[in-house]
Amino acid sequence: MNDFESLLLLGCGGHALVVAEAAQEAGFTIHGFLDDDPETKANAGSLGHAFLGSINDAAVVIETSSTPLGLHAAVGNNELREAWMKAARSAGLKDRFLTIVHPRAIVSPSANLGLGSFIGPNAVINARARIGEGVIVNTSAVVEHDCVIGAYSHVAPNATLGGGAQVGDSSLIGLGAIVLPRITIGQRVVVGAGAVVVGDLPDDVVAHGVPAKIAQTSHT
């Protein structure tokens, strides 16, 4: 258990709203949102919460709060999520990051969830799966037994990882994609929506289709 009942969310886009509602259902109070994009400000009001400033204001908001605040980087973009979490760590805020698990998610007691990860509604994390720091396992995604998901990766809604599959850091498994058992996916890989991955994928590629084929490199 953690000592934080109130949550400060980094990010105020659509994913942040999903996290906020999940956190409330899990028993947290939402203290407010921070974001560097002013266009997201209205999202906070739509849920009846406060927009409190930019990401760099996190330390000040925490210091001036009358209640202890936990943190969660609530942004779907892997690179931004990693950058925000690392910046907060550098500011001495690492111990405030919370893992948010929606009450309707199913998480095996033998699974391991990394710091600051998010497990969405109806997601399933099965036996001995290992989920890295800052990972998103989104709505109705399935991570089967013995899977390993690297830090700051995102398993999108309705995606499925078969038993023993491995996903490297900062990768995206797209909407409804399927990764067959014991497949290894590298770092910074993008698997397109609806793809079926039947063979290993190296680092820094984009793959899509049935079966998934490498279409291009994702980083140059």
Residue 1's pLDDT is what? 42
Could you give phi then psi for residue 213, rounded to 5 degrees?
A: -125, 145
Give the pLDDT confidence of 106-137 residue by residue, as tens digits. Answer: 999 999 999 999 999 999 999 999 999 999 99
Give the pLDDT confidence of 135-144 residue by residue, as tens digits. Answer: 999 999 999 9
HSE-CB for 103 with a 13 A CA cutoff: 9
Catalytic residue among 102, 145, 208, 219: 145
Rounded Cα distance, 69 and 10, in Å: 12
CA distances from 89 to 28, 97, 124, 134, 138 (A): 22, 9, 29, 12, 24
Check: CB of residue 164 under 8 Å from CB of residue 181.
Answer: yes
Give the pLDDT confidence of 156-168 residue by residue, as tens digits. Answer: 999 999 999 999 9
Q: Does pLDDT of 218 surpass 70? A: no
To 5 degrees, how large is the angle CA 25–CA 64–CA 91?
A: 85
Q: Does pLDDT of 217 surpass 80? A: no
- The two tokens of residue 208 are 């899509």
Residue 219's pLDDT is what? 54
Strand 205-208 relative to strand 213-217, pairing = antiparallel
pLDDT band at 2 (very low <50, low <70, confident <90, very high): low
Residue type, 218: S
Sheet strand arrangement including 148-149: 112-113, 130-131, 148-149, 166-167, 184-185
Rounded Cα distance, 94 and 114, in Å: 12
Residue 214's nearest CA partner among 176, 175, 181, 186 is 186
pLDDT band at 43 (very low <50, low <70, confident <90, very high): very high
Rounded Cα distance, 130 and 219, in Å: 26
- pTM for the whole structure: 0.95
DSSP bridge pairs for 191: 173, 207
DSSP bridge pairs for 88: none
Q: Is residue 72 annotated as a catalytic residue, yes or no?
A: no
Residue 220's pLDDT is what? 42
Rounded Cα distance, 102 and 128, in Å: 19
Could you give phi then psi for residue 10, rounded to 5 degrees?
A: -90, 115
Domains of the chain: 6-98 (3.40.50.20), 101-217 (2.160.10.10)
